[in-house]
Structure 1
Amino acid sequence: MPTLKSIAVLVTGAFAAASTLAAEPVQKVKPPVSQAYIDLATFSGGMPAMGGGGGMFGGLFGGGGAKTGGNTFGQTQGASTGRWMDVTLMTRNNPKMMHATQSVPTGSKLSPNVKLEAPELEKPSGGGAVSYQGSGGDMQMPKGKMYLYWGCGTEVRKGQPLVLDMAKMDPAQMSKFFQNRGQTFQVPPPQPGRPVWPNKNDDRLLPEGASMAGEHSFAGEGVVEGFRFNIDKAHDLMPAIVAKRADAATSVNFSWQPIEQAKAWFVASMGMRNAEKDEMEMVYWTSSELPDMGMGLLNYQPDGAVDKWLKEKVLLPGKATECAAPKEAISATAMTRIIAYGDELNMAYPPRPKDPKITWEPQWDVKVRTKSVASLMPGMGDMAAAMAAAQQGEGAERGQNGQPPAEQKPQSATDSLIKAATPSAFDVLRGLIRK
């Protein structure tokens, strides 16, 4: 039996060990002098976005609008068919930098470089505060319900669906229903001192077959010398997803061709059923094994979050090629989005010192993100797969482009509910929430 003295020695030793650990130095990290973000995105399937609205479902799934014209910054956050690149550059040596260049590899078909430009500071237009004009008269809550199903399988699982009665607007019910994972890092938006590509003076579309694999470098007033790095094939533009939807007697089956760069997959569907003039039913289904509406996951996600959600089976593994849903969970009007997540590429110079006593002072760093997203429209069947294969280079030929969205913020439950409501219910909900 241990003596009182031996117990005291053990306790003292434990405290001494804890103190030693606590005394270990925490490495100081200074922000990089120059910093760049490169987003690469591929969109396929479905229909091209229409003039400025992004289509009926574009906003619901986080898509931006589009219009015919030159390339514009922000297309990687939209949903227009094609392959897109957004580049943002900043430097602490010159907070007022307006112009810069990025040398790109010959495979990009944009070489020798692209021109980055910052937007001019716009003068205030006046106008004052924006007020909301209600629909007038006695406002009534919209009638209808929202249903959430989740998980791959041909049968509705026990405990599903989650149901939200829109007329009751119960906070507890809403909190339980609107579950949206997502840790998308929001790239700083274009502004004076922060040049981007594309822009009004270099609005070229990515040519068909373009590749960003190879050596890149940045130059500009205040940009550190030697800002040079390589993008490997694993972090190049991803191919278009070739996917299809097949309706069976009791299930709806989604399948897609494998993509070597895919680290994980996620499938989300949304549509209406039994729609009536004064009542609606919105039906959501996702491939997650845990309840999730999916609105936060249909975008870039950091590697750490993807790894976590793979373990939790919120995301499908990179080798997955199919997922079935119960027929009840996919309405006849449902639109489905499938996303393949690529690995992030994070580089900095000089590398982080292994000795925590040495301060890390990176001269530059760059973050490269990749994703591929497919849209499956109702009733398209095998035609969606054929369209996806054909659309690989059509984005450059069509010139489908969107305006850059404002700095995006995580979508709240209220915003999700408003966007899911029918146009007739929109004013009612918005008016009540703002009161």
Structure 2
Amino acid sequence: MKLFVASSLAPRCHPTKMVATSLSVLSGLVLSASAVAQNKAVTQVVKPPIALAYIDVATNASDLPGGGMMGAAAQGGQSGGFFGALSGLAKGAGNSISERGNQFGNTHNMMGFGSGRYIDVSVHTNQFPSLTEAVQSIPANMNLGASLPLLAITPDKPISGSVDESPVEPHYEKPKGKISIYWGCGENIRPGQPRTLDVAKASPDDYARFFTMRGKTTKGARAEPGHPSWPNKNDDRKIPDNASLQGQHSFSGKGIPDNFKFTLNAAQDLMPAIELQQTKRDQGVSLEWKNIPYARGYFISAMGGQSGDSDRGELILWTSSELPDVGFGLGDYQSNTDIDRWISEKIILPSTTTRCDIPKGIFGAQAGGMLRMIAYGSDAYYAYPPRPADPKIAWQPDWQAKIRIKSTFSSILGGMGDNTDMHRNRQEQNSSKEENKISPTDILKGLFGR
């Protein structure tokens, strides 16, 4: 009965018309699918820009006295990855901070050495690869005059017109002793931790399984032949405390297009310094900080050691990640895409986070170690002319500019007060009772046999 009623109420259609309609719909679908396939098959031709500029922006805050050690760690980390950074720390333990003003590369000091605000700038043009000097016109609120003189270093060999964008491949140096990794914020150490490696006995496969180090920092501003940069030997002025990057910037020089100009807004300005409050509690440390405007996310790491003989010390690492990671790869600029992905994977703390507890018992009764924190800003790209929306139209911009922003903080774990007093007492008493308390620098020297 129901089938009969439904059939009787259905609209009547001539069989010929039904076939024609079906063919029309099918034809439309085929044409649509063909159009989609054609669009997917088209790959837009993108040619390198005529001129390319980088601006790396960093705010560093630190209450650590060992500037030479921090600088050595940064250099070692850039050339040798994880082990290079540790070796750099050991080598630079006794060095003093340079008395020079602003130096190119201060934005990349991975341990936050040198409190202050730093900017590294460089520009390159394919029309004149051996460019030796250029000028960056800057907004008045940078308080550095109308412009910055960019100067390239002297080349040792002929200059290539191409710009290397590949990440630096680290070269590892095998240390001695043990390394233990902890991870995650919270009051207590989580089940399954720590992950420990006896590096003297470990095989290459053991290393591969043990070391998880995320991070894909590519080159930004560079002081190289053919890349006039600032600061340089002719102008090493420091960035004023009240400086702002907001406003119009432009580049000029031989082979640089006349229209190379763009405007930076508040999201690309110098970030505020991280204001971190540390509170020791029951062999752990509570970390709290003020939210930073325009921060995309946060990452925290700590490094310390346990006593042992000179060849068998134990290096201890902790990070705020919810998954194991040694942390050194995430201590510098990261892309917006990677930051967002690692936030979703709970590797990086979301921008709304203002507290993290380091579990008790990781760094011993004194909770001694070195702490580093980074607030990631959002990188920005500018180009002219804009990229065509039609993939069939090739794109070769006259110029491109890339801006990267971050704010970092480094300190003794738990704050400098107690550790400064302890160091002073150790010097005054010169007592063997302190032998059970070993500094991270001593551990690092022991690990590397230096």
**TM-score by structure 2 length?**
0.75
Q: 1:51 to 1:280 in 2, by over 3 A?
A: closer
Q: Is the 8 A contact 2:311 2:449 kept in 1?
A: no
Distance 1:308 1:95, change over 3 A: same
Equivalent position amino acid for 1:31 in 2:
P
* Partner amino acid, structure 2, of 1:336: L
One-letter amino acid of the counterpart of residue 426, structure 1: F
C-alpha deviation, 1:356, in angstroms: 1.0
Tell me by how many angstroms 1:382 deviates: 7.4
Q: Distance in 1 between matches of 2:310 and 2:69?
A: 27
- Mapping for residues 116-131 of structure 1, pairs under 5 Å: 116-122=150-156
Q: Name the structure 2 match of 1:176.
A: 209
Deviation of 1:53 (Å): 6.3
2:440 maps to 1:423: no
Change (3 A) 1:420 1:40: farther
Tell me the equivalent position of 1:219: 252
Structure-2 separation of matches of 1:88 and 1:157: 45
Change (3 A) 1:89 1:143: closer
Output the amino acid matched with 1:423: K
Is 1:353 matched up with 2:368? no
Q: CA deviation at 1:216?
A: 0.6
Contact 2:312 2:446 in 1 (8 A): no
1:84: Cα distance to partner?
0.2
Measured after TM superposition, the shift of residue 26 of structure 1 is 1.2
Partner Cα separation in structure 2 for residue 278 and residue 37 of structure 1? 43
Q: Deviations over 1:209-255 (max 9, x none)?
A: 11111111111111001111111011100111010221111532111
Specify the alignment match of 2:57 in structure 1.
Answer: 40
Equivalent residue number for residue 38 of structure 2: 23
**Which residue number corresponds to residue 201 of structure 1?**
234
Matched, 1:96 2:130: yes
The equivalent position to 1:146 in structure 2, one of 179, 187, 203, is: 179
Gaps of 5+ in 1: 1-11, 125-140, 385-418, 429-435
CA shift in 2, pair 1:145/1:15, >3 Å: farther
1:9-60 deviations in Å (ceiling 9; x for gaps): xxx9999987654432111111111110000001102325535863779853
Any conservation in 2 of the 1:245–1:382 contact (CA below 8 Å)?
Answer: no
Shift in alpha-carbon separation, 1:380–1:425, aligned structure 2, 3 A: closer
Q: In the alignment, what sits opposite 1:105?
A: 139
Q: Which amino acid aligns with 1:337?
A: R
Residue pair 1:282, 1:420 contacting (<8 A) in 2 also: no
Q: Give TM-score, length-normalised by structure 1.
A: 0.77
How far apart, CA to CA, are the structure 2 residues paired with 1:364 and 1:380?
A: 46
Counterpart secondary structure, 2:54: strand
Residue of structure 2 equivalent to 1:320: 353
Q: What letter matches 1:81 in structure 2?
A: S
Cα deviations by residue, 1:350-408 (Å, 9 ceiling, x for unpaired): 11111111111211110111000001214526799xxxxxxxxxxxxxxxxxxxxxxxx
Question: Deviation digits for residues 100-146 of structure 1, max 9, x if unmatched?
Answer: 1001111101120000011112489xxxxxxxxxxxxxxxx976321
1:114 aligns with 2:148: yes
Provide the secondary structure at the position in 2 that maps to 1:328: coil
Flag the structure with higher helix content: 2
CA distance in 2, matches of 1:85, 1:232: 16
Please, which of 103, 106, 110 is the counterpart of residue 72 of structure 1?
Answer: 103
Aligned to 2:13: none
The equivalent position to 1:50 in structure 2, one of 67, 78, 83, is 67
Name the stretch that deviates more: 50-59 or 164-173. 50-59
Structure 2 vs 1, CA of residues 379 and 305 (structure 1 numbering), >3 Å: closer, same or farther?
closer
- 1:265-295 per-position Cα deviation (integer Å, ceiling 9, x unaligned): 0000111013334421111110001111100
Q: Which is greater in Rg?
A: 2
Of structures 1 and 2, the one with the larger relative CO (CA 8 A, separation 6+) is: 1
The whole-number CA distance in structure 2 between the counterparts of 1:295 and 1:420 is 20
Q: In structure 2, what residue type is equivalent to 1:353?
A: P
How many angstroms apart in 1 are the aligned matches of 2:313 and 2:45?
56
Report the Cα distance in structure 2 between the residues aligned to 1:201 and 1:122, rounded to whole angstroms.
20
SS at match of 2:206: helix
Give the 3-state SS of the residue equivalent to 1:259 in structure 2: coil
Which consecutive unaligned segments of at least 5 residues does structure 2 have?
A: 1-26, 77-84, 159-173, 420-440
Kept in 2: contact 1:245–1:376 (CA 8 A): no
Separation in 2 of the partners of 1:109 and 1:289?
Answer: 42
Q: 1:283 aligns with which of 316, 326, 329?
A: 316
Matched AA of 2:327: G
- Going from structure 1 to structure 2, the CA distance change for 1:15 and 1:270 (only over 3 Å counts) comes to farther
Alignment of 1:260-271 (within 5 A): 260-271=293-304
- Which residues in structure 2 correspond to 1:243-322 (within 5 Å)? 243-249=276-282, 251-322=284-355
Cα separation, 2, equivalents of 1:167 and 1:192:
41
> Which of 354, 369, 373 is equivalent to 1:338?
373
The change in CA–CA distance for 1:323 and 1:307 in structure 2 (over 3 A counts) is same
